[in-house]
Amino acid sequence: MEQVKTTPEEQLPRFSIVLETENLANADLNGLSESLASLAAQDVSPTCAQEVWLIDSGDTPLDLLQELRDRYAWIKVYSAPLGTGYYEAKMLGAKQSTGEVVVYFDSDCVYESHWLRSILSPFVRDTTIQVVAGETMTRGLGIYGTAMVMAYIFPPFSGQTTLMKTEGYFLNNVAFRRDFLLANPIPDELPLYRGNCAIHAQNLLRSGYSIWQQPQARATHAPPSSVAHFFWRFLLIGHDYYWQQRIASEAPMPQQDAMSGFGGKLQVFVDRFRKMLACEPRHLIYIPLALPFALGSVVLVAVGYAIAALKPNYLLTAYNNVLGEV
């Protein structure tokens, strides 16, 4: 397949796109259709990809899967074994891909129309770049939406416009040179629900590699979609925080000390609050009523952390058992 022209001066690398369906175990199925619609609307068409992999581990209803294949002929479905985990599916997609660059997106994200071009172009401009992370923020406005923008994993957009070094990435919005990723794979056997990518990023930085952030490659992520999803998701964030700190303590990074403690956490919150209002000033209207939801999520994170400290594997085992009963 020929390289994709973007401007007379620039070409994009040969690329593959990977989506997994494990996220659909507790997310809104409509989100998958919205995510693929945003991919179809990119100003670099997904038909230009070497392949667009949908790694299905049995989480997508067959009728929806067929409907999506009929609507988007460029989707290639790879049937992974039932129970294939999130990170295992992501790496499986990289192994199946033939593009020079592997681009990851998720079923619960919606991507701006220039996202794909923005995340790919740095690989051509600098051949030493191995990892480019986009920016993902929580989508929402209103009492619950504002609370989730304040409290959920994904921070508001930075407002920056130029490529810069960063210390981490989200696996719903990142691209790797394929050979580099296969040589430095994302660990998939950690005792985490999510957050393996944070450990992976730490390992890359410790090995002397750089992670580049492209703030123009923007996506929005859905907040927890139900009471059960909210409850379990924030408990598991606490579980993951405990394990990330435990794993990181074995080989701490210098920057961890700078942001540890109450002062560092307060600085992070103030920065997030400022960016939230810069992105959408109307959040200010909803903050008084949103605070109870935000505080409730913080309490759940703290409870999840405490449970993990007492019984390190209890929450993840319990959650998997609940999924198995659904």
pLDDT tens-digit readout, 271-295: 899 999 999 999 999 999 999 999 9
| Cα atoms in the Cβ-side hemisphere of radius 13 Å centred on 31 | 25
Q: How confident is the model at residue 1 (pLDDT cuts 50, 70, 90)?
A: very low
- Concatenate the DSSP letters of all residues of 205-252 into one string: HHTT--EEEEEEEEEEEPPP-SHHHHHHHHHHHHHHHHHHHHHHTTS-
Residues 201 and 169 sit within 8 Å (Cβ to Cβ): yes
CB atoms closer than 10 angstroms to residue 201: 22
**164-166/75-79 β-pairing:** unpaired
Question: What does each C-alpha distance from 140 to 35, 38, 222, 295 come to in angstroms?
Answer: 16, 17, 8, 17
Q: Residues 212-222: what's their mean pLDDT? A: 97
Residue with the larger pLDDT of the pair 71 and 116 = 116
Non-local CB neighbours of 241 within 8 Å, separated by 6+ positions:
195, 301, 304, 305
Q: How confident is the model at residue 84 (pLDDT cuts 50, 70, 90)?
A: confident
CB atoms closer than 10 angstroms to residue 64: 15
Residue with the larger pLDDT of the pair 47 and 59 = 47
Q: Cα–Cα distance between 234 and 232 in angstroms, integer? A: 6
Tell me the average pLDDT of the chain.
Answer: 88
- Concatenate the DSSP letters of all residues of 245-266 into one string: HHHHTTS--THHHHT-HHHHHH
Residue 59 has pLDDT above 90, yes or no: no
Residues 41 and 117 sit within 8 Å (Cβ to Cβ): no
Residue with the larger pLDDT of the pair 60 and 11 = 11
The secondary structure of the chain in percent helix, strand, coil, rounded to multiples of 5, reads 50, 20, 35
Residue 53 has pLDDT above 90, yes or no: yes
Least confident of 49-63, 175-189, 209-223, 231-245: 49-63
Q: Cα–Cα distance between 163 and 158 in angstroms, integer? A: 12
Q: What percent of the chain has pLDDT over 90?
A: 72
Q: Which pair of tokens denotes residue 215?
A: 């703030």
Backbone angles phi, psi at 149, to 5 degrees: -65, -35
Pick from 56-60, 174-178, 266-270 the range whose average pLDDT is largest.
Answer: 174-178
The SS3 of residue 289 is helix
Residue 31 has pLDDT above 80, yes or no: no
- Concatenate the DSSP letters of all residues of 294-312 into one string: HHHHHHHHHHHHHHHHHST
Question: What does each C-alpha distance from 264 to 104, 233, 255 come to in angstroms?
Answer: 30, 24, 11
Q: How confident is the model at residue 65 (pLDDT cuts 50, 70, 90)?
A: confident
Q: How confident is the model at residue 83 (pLDDT cuts 50, 70, 90)?
A: confident
Q: Which pair of tokens denotes residue 117?
A: 């071009």
Residue with the larger pLDDT of the pair 32 and 39 = 39
Residue 251 has pLDDT above 90, yes or no: no
Q: Residues 214-242: what's their mean pLDDT? A: 95
pLDDT at 267: 75
Q: Given this structure, which CATH class describes domain 4-325?
A: alpha beta
Q: How confident is the model at residue 308 (pLDDT cuts 50, 70, 90)?
A: very high
Q: Which pair of tokens denotes residue 30?
A: 């409509």
Residues 132 and 174 sit within 8 Å (Cβ to Cβ): yes
Q: What is the pTM of this model?
A: 0.90
Residue 76 has pLDDT above 80, yes or no: yes
Q: How confident is the model at residue 234 (pLDDT cuts 50, 70, 90)?
A: very high
